[in-house]
Amino acid sequence: MEKIEEFLRSRAEEGLLRKLRPAASRRDGKIYFGKKEYIDFSSNDYLGLSNHPKLKKAAQEALETYGAGSSGSRLLSGDLDICHKLEKAVAKFKGKEAALVFNSGYQANIGIVSALYGAGDCIFSDKLNHASIIDGLLLSGVKFFRFSHNDIGHLESLLIKERAKFKNAMIITETIFSMDGDRPDLKSLVSLKEKFDCRLMVDEAHATGIYGKNGSGVVEEEGLSDKVDLIMGTFSKALGSFGAYLAASGQMIDYMVNKCRSFIYSTALPPAIIAANLASIEVIKEEPHRRETLLKSAEYFRNALKAKGFETRGSSQIVPVIIGENHAALNLAEALQKKGYWVMPIRPPTVPKGEARLRFSITYGHGIATLERLVNDIANHIPSGSGTR
């Protein structure tokens, strides 16, 4: 008990203590706590699809057809025909031979990495890759090297020094990073993976639905679907539902069905969720105006912040405002919440020490007038010369 008490006390003193905040409801870019309404800037529902009529209708129809639960793992009784329909749709969407659905992005990443690699192998991972990727590395027992964020030169130097010492190797990156909102030089990563005989895996969780001609992601946008070996992503962000996927070769998917523990030993997703995922892919193709509007709004917001002297990063729908000190980030978040904006402070260890920030998730429901007012409210709260400009 003393260890627990000391941990909680030190967290509170450092401005790092986290607490759950149950919302009453969330819809149309708003979130409600009791009767209090906020404009929601903490949601990953980038395109506003979680309340889209087509997703809700598909889920309701599947509920009537299949029932509420899936009843078992996919290798037992949970392997419904609708699962295979979704996997075929994902494979086509991602330009790959086959796909496999997982219960969450976390389960996908820890399972994929630990199934493929182990002792005698190595992985080169971007330093800012998601915690689920890091946990997959640790679980696998593989030797891994973390290269400086989006630093192709550093990665190449590590490959030159270390690659030949190991049998199998892989490079892992995200295509849109969740905290900085930036993207890697994917073409250079492909060149390095070919030069040094590695696989390349990308996490498209924050890119799927937003980038590319068909909304498939950054890999599609850059025309590299046949060059990236493993394309992982989620249905829980821009696609407005839940779950995750891996798109790869048919052989790779067969291997995962037989080897990946996080897939094998998990009850299948409920059929209503599977149906909503199917519907979300169709909506992404049918309504490109959503992603076009979203990216224009995000560009406006980032440029308006920069014009006021704030430090922001990236070029996506994720717009971080770097504050620095933990308590300062907490105070700004609280001040904005009082004005009706729901935005959360992001602090270490999620981000590096000294880089506490407010992470604004721009969504389809955020109009320019709202974003203009928000920029002014941020600027009015932080005095000039505070170190954040």
DSSP single-letter state for residue 294: H
Active site residue 130: yes
Active site residue 109: no
Catalytic residue among 126, 174, 204, 220: 174
Catalytic residue among 52, 94, 96, 237: 237
- Kindly report the backbone phi and psi dihedral angles of residue 200, in degrees, each rounded to the nearest multiple of 5, phi listed first: -125, 125
Catalytic residue among 180, 203, 204, 229: 203
Distance CA 25, CA 268 (A): 27
Strand order of the β-sheet with 199-203 is 98-102, 244-248, 230-234, 199-203, 169-174, 122-126, 143-147
Active site residue 203: yes
Distance CA 98, CA 96 (A): 6
Distance CA 258, CA 264 (A): 7
Catalytic residue among 70, 103, 178, 316: 178
Catalytic residue among 130, 193, 241, 355: 130
Active site residue 327: no
Catalytic residue among 52, 94, 206, 366: 206
Decide: 387 and 381 in contact? Cβ < 8 Å.
Answer: no
Q: How many CB atoms lie within 10 A of CB 68?
A: 10
Distance CA 344, CA 359 (A): 7
- Kindly report the backbone phi and psi dihedral angles of residue 246, in degrees, each rounded to the nearest multiple of 5, phi listed first: -125, 125
Catalytic residue among 42, 44, 236, 361: 44
- Kindly report the backbone phi and psi dihedral angles of residue 77, in degrees, each rounded to the nearest multiple of 5, phi listed first: -95, 0
Cis peptide upstream of residue 53 (ω within 30 degrees of 0): no
Active site residue 174: yes
Active site residue 64: no
DSSP string, 95-113: TSSEEEEES-HHHHHHHHH
Q: What residues are annotated to the active site?
A: 44, 130, 174, 178, 203, 206, 237
